[in-house]
Amino acid sequence: MIEVNNISHQFAIGKKGKERIIPVLHSIDMRVEQGEVVAIVGRSGSGKSTLLNLISGYIRPTSGEIRIGGQTVTKLSEGEWADFRLAFFGFMFQSFQLIPSMTAFENVELPLVLKGVGLEQRKKRVIELLDRVGLSECAGHYPGELSGGQQQRVSVARALVLNPPIVLADEPTGSLDSENERQLLALIGELNREQGTTFLIITHDDQVAAVAHRTVMLQDGRLVQPQRNVTAEPFAPGAGGVIPLVRS
């Protein structure tokens, strides 16, 4: 589903002609198969968010190639990337990224509006998703009227409303208490098992990493080969394992 081939990336800091080059990622090779839950872990500054932004097309790699769903995406134009992103990805963020002036219903509905889906179909799909995340009674509430856990569930519904094959999550439990984290992980597990949704999750949280099918660690912009766990089970919160993501 996701293929990262020999990706390197660097940032230039300073005035043109006097830039200082900061290398961030070094020759990254990894695969994420369809239907997997994969956690990317590592210290702050290790390159996790840069890798996620490269995969989602928000920044372009200095070198290397990325293929998603069999399509090479590294050379897509900005317009092509916007269409591709809408079709392939759902996004979950630590800060939820909900629009304060829109209700929960309207926040979840927004990707459908951008996609040009008709009114009745939009209404049916949004109600279905809000019910799935246990927030049907909060459809008319604004983000400021919801708890952190409720806001994250709205963001989950929004991420899934177009039924994307891949969900990219950046520290999705970072703003949640332990109970809301447990509920979110259980929901991710259900969606993965029932719909085959692929999840790529950046996390500092051992609880999140522990439930992934695979965990890959970034250290100073390089992949660290994880150890194989031969007893790893299919996704189930509390029963995950660490197995290699990088293939020789």
Q: Which residues pair with 20 in a beta bridge?
A: 13
Which pair of tokens denotes residue 21? 């080059």
Q: How many CB atoms lie within 10 A of CB 194?
A: 8
Q: Is residue 171 part of a domain?
A: yes
CA atoms within 13 A on the CB side of 195: 16
Give the model's pLDDT for residue 50: 93
Q: Which domain CATH number covers 113? A: 3.40.50.300
Asked if residues 189 and 12 have their Cβ atoms less than 8 Å apart, the reply is no
Q: Is residue 25 part of a domain?
A: yes
Distances (CA, A) of 121 to 127, 133, 161, 234: 10, 19, 11, 33
Asked if residues 239 and 185 have their Cβ atoms less than 8 Å apart, the reply is no
Which pLDDT band, with edges at 50, 70 and 90, does 233 fall under? very low
Report the candidate in 189, 182, 191, 187 with the shortest Cα–Cα distance to residue 164.
Answer: 191
Give the model's pLDDT for residue 107: 96
Q: Is residue 145 part of a domain?
A: yes
Give the model's pLDDT for residue 214: 87
Question: Which H/E stretch holds residue 106?
Answer: helix 104-115
| Rounded Cα–Cα distance for residues 214 and 225 (Å) | 11
Give the model's pLDDT for residue 227: 40
The whole-chain average pLDDT of the chain stands at 85
Give the model's pLDDT for residue 199: 93
Segment 51-85, tens digit of pLDDT: 999 999 999 999 999 999 888 999 899 999 999 99
Q: Is residue 237 part of a domain?
A: no
Query: DSSP letter string over 135-191?
Result: -GGGTT--GGGS-HHHHHHHHHHHHHTT--SEEEEESTTTT--HHHHHHHHHHHHHH
Lowest mean pLDDT among 42-46, 85-89, 233-237: 233-237
Q: Is residue 244 part of a domain?
A: no
245: pLDDT strictly greater than 80: no
Kindly give the pairing relationship between strand 71-72 and strand 63-68: antiparallel
Segment 110-144, tens digit of pLDDT: 999 999 999 999 999 999 999 988 899 999 999 99
| Rounded Cα–Cα distance for residues 126 and 138 (Å) | 12
| Rounded Cα–Cα distance for residues 98 and 76 (Å) | 27
Give the model's pLDDT for residue 226: 55
Q: Residues near 81 by Cβ (< 8 Å), separated by ≥ 6?
A: 57, 73
Q: Is residue 234 part of a domain?
A: no
**Structural domains of the chain, count:** 1
> Model's pTM, two decimal places?
0.83
37: pLDDT strictly greater than 60: yes
Give the range of the structural domain holding residue 153, as residue numbers without chain letter.
2-224
232: pLDDT strictly greater than 70: no
Q: What percent of the chain has pLDDT over 90?
A: 51
2: pLDDT strictly greater than 80: yes
CA 241 to chain centre: 19
- The stretch 91-103 carries a mean pLDDT of 90
Report the candidate in 111, 123, 207 with the shortest Cα–Cα distance to residue 163.
Answer: 111
Q: Is residue 241 part of a domain?
A: no
Q: Is residue 209 part of a domain?
A: yes
| Rounded Cα–Cα distance for residues 66 and 105 (Å) | 34
Segment 170-214, tens digit of pLDDT: 988 888 888 888 888 888 888 888 888 899 999 988 888 888 898
Give the model's pLDDT for residue 54: 94
| Rounded Cα–Cα distance for residues 238 and 188 (Å) | 13
What are the backbone dihedrals phi and psi of residue 236, each rounded to the nearest 5 degrees, phi first?
A: -160, 120
